[in-house]
Amino acid sequence: MKQKAKKTVFFCQECGYESTKWLGQCPGCKEWNTFVEEVVDKKKISSSGKIVNTPRKENKTFALNEIKIDLEDRTSTGIKELDRVLGGGIVKGSMTLIGGDPGIGKSTLLLQVCQNLSSKGEKVLYVSGEESTQQIKIRADRIGQFTNNLRLFCETNLSTIREIIEKEKPKVVIIDSIQTMYDEEVSSTPGSVSQVREATAILMQIAKGMNISMFIVGHVTKEGVVAGPRVLEHMVDTVLYFEGDRHESYRILRGVKNRFGSTNEIGVFEMRQTGLEEVENPSEFMLSGKPKDASGSVVTCSVEGTRPVLLEIQALVCHSFFNNPRRTSTGLDYNRVNLLMAVIEKRLGIRLSDCDAYINIAGGAKLNEPAIDLGIVMAVLSSHLDIAIDDKMVCFGEVGLSGEIRSVNSTEQRINEAQKLGFKTCVIPDISKNKLPMIENINIIGVRNLQDVLQLLSSKKA
């Protein structure tokens, strides 16, 4: 008897768009070469999980004034930096996705959350599809003592996990990781587009239906995004990303999506033997080890959410012996660095087209705020002219294509942060200086354009 051929469908790994044939460009998200072929089963159920007979709801519309909002109190994780990124704590029935490179600390942070919640009497279920209970126990022993309110369960079958959740009725569930979970009704392998999408839909149904707060861990691709369809990020309530090199001691947790709070907040942690420790003053931590009297080094200030952070920008500009000079940027937008160097060459007449340029943010942080433009310009000029910038000077401001220095937000807040860390001089846009109240014990210098910046640096050399 001839076996019936299996039906295959092509899925876009970015947005989950389905097609009966392979396409070079996805019609949904316009990305190239993102389609993968997967076998589908005609008996597959809908993405809502198992079908349950529910009573038919009355069709009725509502006016906004008739809707009453029940504001649920947030549950603190016991980690202030994590609470800051979450918007104040864990919301009941929410689903949070945490992504990051392997070994960066995702499982460690969630295990510390489990420790804090279980010690307060909250029932927590940790579901692992990658590690055994013995392996989790080894990590837990490094962190500290745990109560019996934390229950471990090693399984990848979602049907079994659903039964355990219904039996244990925990307040918080940790899924580590979503790429290892599978639904028996879906014929594709775990980690595929279909399985990740169906697994997330089933877990969301459990979280919303039972009012359980759920954290799921997601693997990332080499581009740094969560592996699987982009629709995964659309389905969850909150998306958090770990940044930083796993070989470095610090970690930055950044919120890129949050239905219950701001998406601009960051949390800073330091990896130690006992787990992730909070860094209450990230500015002081990031500036530790800054060289003295070295050209090409300048301190700038960036605002992440409600928190100003001081960071060191380093630049190395030297003559190139090749036809095409090399430009490299770490932690900064490469195109933005090239644009600023073109502005310097055009507006100041300083030739940089035959120079190699290497721009770096010390510590491995990543910034994409226009306020750091002035820091990049001053670092490049300092290195090229071999002029050391005062160690007690901080600068910030946006640089326009005409060479003008434009104002930025939270100017007073940035100056107060610099003053708190002992900085004596602050270089800011001249238009922002005129709007500031009187601030004592710090010298504020206003610059209008790149000519003022060059004149300021030349006076330091003299």
Q: Which residues are annotated as a binding site for ATP?
A: 100-107
Q: What is the CA radius of gyration of the chain?
A: 26
Please tell me what DSSP assigns to residue 322: S
**Nearest-angstrom CA–CA distance, 219 and 229:** 12
Amino acid type, 129: G
Produce one character per residue of 324-356: b if its CB has 16 or more CB atoms within 10 Å, e if not: ebebebebbbeebbeebbebbeebbebebeebb
Write the CB contacts of 172 (distance below 8 Å, at least 6 apart in sequence): 75, 90, 113, 114, 117, 122, 123, 124, 125, 212, 213, 214, 215
Amino acid type, 350: I
**Nearest-angstrom CA–CA distance, 314 and 289:** 13
Residue 185 burial by CB count (10 A; 0-12/13-18/19+): exposed, middle or buried? middle
| SS3 call for 313 | strand
**Nearest-angstrom CA–CA distance, 390 and 388:** 7
Chain centroid, CA 192 distance in Å: 24
Pairing of strands 405-406, 398-399: antiparallel
Range list of β-strands (E), 331-442 = 355-361, 393-395, 398-399, 405-406, 425-429
Q: Binding site: what residues are annotated?
A: 100-107
Residue 119: C-alpha distances to residues 30, 115, 150, 271 (Å): 48, 6, 9, 22
**Nearest-angstrom CA–CA distance, 216 and 39:** 25
Contact 127, 173 (CB under 8 A): yes
Angle at 379 between CA 375 and CA 382, to 5 degrees: 135
Reported as type and span, the H/E element at residue 416 is helix 411-420
**Nearest-angstrom CA–CA distance, 409 and 303:** 9
- Bridge partners of 250, per DSSP, are 270
Length of the chain: 462
| SS3 call for 205 | helix
